[in-house]
Amino acid sequence: MKTTVEILQAARNKLIESGWQQGHFGAGDGPFCAVGALRRIMLPGGVYAATYGYKESPYWLLCRAIGLPNDMALSAWNDTPGRTFSEVIDAYDYAIELAKEEER
């Protein structure tokens, strides 16, 4: 099983490689939204968020990085008018740092 850091890094890389979008999770080769990139990395290999403790979930760490109360708000955050790709990547970078701190 991949670590939370590895999943977040892979999803971040997927966004950079395949592109980012709003209003749809994404499919195939992308582009993807912030949530869709995580789903693309986690679901194909049979790894689900439920495999992780809630506080260690890649979804939860991404929510914490942007100050959201739960992962239900993550899609709305991604789709907020005026949201930028740079903000999404910054959120992933911060979530990766949080995950690294928790692995120590």
Residue 53: what pLDDT?
Answer: 46
| pLDDT tens-place string over residues 54-80 | 455 888 889 999 998 766 688 899 999
Residue 54: what pLDDT?
Answer: 47
Q: Which domain holds residue 74?
A: 4-103
Please say if the pLDDT value at position 31 is more than 50.
Answer: yes
Q: In the chain, how many domains are there?
A: 1
Question: CA 45, 73, 24, 36: dihedral to nearest 10 degrees?
Answer: -20
Predicted TM-score of the model (pTM) = 0.86
